[in-house]
Structure 1
Amino acid sequence: MRFTQLTTVVARQQKAAVFQTVRHSHGLVVPYVHVPVTPFSNGVPAEQVRELHPIEKKWDFWTSSDAFQGQKPTLGGVTIVPHGEVWVTESGSVLSSGVHITLPFTKVRAVKNIHTISFGVVSPALKSQDGIAVNAYAVAYIKVNDPAKSALYVDPESNNFDSERAAAKVIKRALEQNVSNISVGSSGTLLDSTASDLALKVETALKAKESDYGITVEGVEIRGAFPTHLNIPDKLRALDPPLLLEHQAGHNLAADYWSTVLSPAFFFKTKYGNRKEVVTPAAVSLEWSIPSPPDFHHFNELPRQTGDAPEAKKIAAAH
């Protein structure tokens, strides 16, 4: 039943990504488009759908939760929290779905879902019992029952907020401790009994932290222990939309950054008064027509370009 639910979530995400707006900048809408169908084999992508940014290769888990979204909602005056969400402020206040009156300078720490969320954890390369280097892949299903405790939890090791991140670390540590005791095949498929035993150990380790994390564990699945040459971690990360790079529009650029690109080359800007500064525009050049390095008689001489006269155009007879 959980696999069916996860398949539905993946299908819905893939369908929505066919035309997904990722940036609004100066009225220009830039869509992100990719192939809507990604083939899966043994519960993982069969191919890598795009290249990864070096930062993306450091991600160690995926989640359907909104707790780690880059841009948090803003509060000010009358605030409407969407249905199915709970907003936790930095002071610990919990805003459930509906209309709220808030202070204008209040900041949201995290957005929590009231429904069951899923997140997957891929272990680093581990040696199995039969000596094969594998990446173990586990998917957990949890429900946040105490949003404030979950959002304001501080991991004592990394000093990072949010218990969902800490729960992913617990699963990763449990996989590292138990993969060395199992045997794997060449395709990464495990026996049902082996996968069930490993899932039970991971679930037990996660349930031991329920009261600290403010969550309820509903189940854990082991998708497999895949040989490292299959590159499963990168294939899973590539399913997310790509990151916006720092030089792309919308990253601390001036409101008229496009004017230098769209303005013709014969226009230039000036600053008046004691800050007067002439900006030299880029001019069309024929430097490619001069050999490099140039011979002596081309110094201090403008480049020239010659060519044969075009042939006379022939006009087809009218019918």
Structure 2
Amino acid sequence: MRFSALTTLVARQQRSKAVAAVQSVRFSHGLVVPYAHVAVTPFANGVPSEQVRELHPVEKKWDFWTSSDAFLGAKPSIGGLTQVPFGEVWVLENGSVLKEGSHFLLPFSKVRAVKNVHPISFGVVSPALKSADGVSVNAYAVVYIKVTDFAKSALYVDPESNNFDSERAAAKIVKRTLEQNVSSLQVGNAGTLSDASAASLAEKIESALKAKESEYGISVEGVEIRGAFPSHQNIPDKLRALDPPLLLEHQAGHNLAPDYWASVLTPAFFQKYKYGNRKEVVTPATVSLEWSIPSPPDYHHFNELPRQTGDPADVKKIAAAH
């Protein structure tokens, strides 16, 4: 693991702890089910060999991935005493830069972007293009940069797309350079790119980025060409599928209803209890020891009743045995 990736991971963990400590839960279903399913994804030649999940239509519009926090959907909120986590720099809309530590700010201040102190990486995949030998391929490059001027990077406006942030503009340069040079690559039917071709392409990308360092407020740490893969391998979708799926803003975790935990978390004096014959049995006795859900149960099946499974012809025999 590269040092930059490790430090970025530590910074994100520190940030998650700090945000949890100073911000309140926005929605009633903010309690997260302590469950995570992480599949083991095999890799071949630096890319996943299979697609781990289906993509949302919105996700298919993404043209690069990044380890940076600059493009987080939810920006940190500011009001009064504000704590900037370790490894981060917050750039406000007025151009002010908040470094690690405590700051007292007016409530109407807004964060434009969260920048990382440590080096970050981003990957760009070109659209399907014809190589010099007529093979349709997706070229894949990974770039390592470090933000040197936080305000300049966050407030940079791309003159073509009118989008903010120089990190996005840097990814755009990488994509354009790939598109301009794929037609000169010899990849063969298997999509194999020679070391000399990969080194030459990486040098061209690095040269194009270095020409924009002062304008973007970044420094280029390195460029890697992962390969030029045949388009039928669907590398762009496989890479995007490694990220967690998108959730709607008000969607409860794991498709739970917003009030799923209400019966558990509601204080006793707000509940009505029934006694005697009116009492509702929460966990009635089961007629079988056979379960139709896995053990241990996944998601929120902990309170589900077991269901009897077996041959319908033996139902009477099973019932008689109990």
* Paired position in structure 1 for 2:307: none
Contact 1:42-1:189 at 8 Å conserved across structures: no
Amino acid at match of 1:91: N
Q: What's the CA shift for 1:193?
A: 0.6
Once the two structures are superposed, residues 194-245 of structure 1 have per-residue CA deviations (whole angstroms, 9 ceiling, x without a partner) of 1000100111111111111100011111000000000000000001000013
Counterparts in 2 of 1:104 and 1:198: CA distance versus 1, 3 Å: same
Q: Which runs of 5+ in 1 are unaligned?
A: 251-255, 263-309
Once the two structures are superposed, residues 112-152 of structure 1 have per-residue CA deviations (whole angstroms, 9 ceiling, x without a partner) of 00111000000001110000010000000000000000000
Q: What's the CA shift for 1:29?
A: 1.5
Is 1:101 aligned to residue 87 of structure 2?
A: no
Is 1:245 aligned to residue 240 of structure 2?
A: no
3-state SS of the aligned residue for 1:211?
Answer: helix
Is 1:46 aligned to residue 49 of structure 2?
A: yes
Q: What's the CA shift for 1:314?
A: 4.1
Contact 1:129-1:181 at 8 Å conserved across structures: yes
Bigger shift: 89-98 or 188-197? 188-197
Distance 1:27 1:155 in 2: 37
Distance 2:238 2:152 in 1: 33
The one of the two structures with greater contact order (alpha-carbon pairs below 8 A, sep at least 6) is: 2
**Who wins on radius of gyration, i.e. which is larger?**
1
Distance 2:30 2:119 in 1: 36
Is 1:66 aligned to residue 63 of structure 2?
A: no
Counterparts in 2 of 1:189 and 1:77: CA distance versus 1, 3 Å: same
* Paired position in structure 2 for 1:233: 236
Instruction: Give percent identity, aligned residues only.
Output: 71
* Paired position in structure 1 for 2:166: 163
Counterparts in 2 of 1:55 and 1:32: CA distance versus 1, 3 Å: farther
3-state SS of the aligned residue for 1:194?
Answer: helix
Bigger shift: 28-37 or 38-47? 28-37
Contact 1:199-1:222 at 8 Å conserved across structures: yes
Q: Which runs of 4+ in 1 moved over 6 A?
A: 310-313
Distance 2:189 2:36 in 1: 34
Q: What's the CA shift for 1:25?
A: 4.3
* Paired position in structure 2 for 1:5: 2
Length, aligned pairs only: 251
Contact 2:91-2:98 at 8 Å conserved across structures: yes
Q: 1:57 aligns with which of 43, 49, 60?
A: 60
Contact 2:4-2:119 at 8 Å conserved across structures: no
Is 1:194 aligned to residue 191 of structure 2?
A: no
* Paired position in structure 1 for 2:223: 220
Is 1:206 aligned to residue 203 of structure 2?
A: no
* Paired position in structure 1 for 2:40: 37
Distance 1:156 1:224 in 2: 30
The Cα RMSD (Å) is 2.9
Amino acid at match of 2:180: Q
3-state SS of the aligned residue for 1:79?
Answer: strand
Contact 2:4-2:120 at 8 Å conserved across structures: no
Amino acid at match of 2:240: R
Counterparts in 2 of 1:120 and 1:102: CA distance versus 1, 3 Å: same
Distance 2:189 2:145 in 1: 31
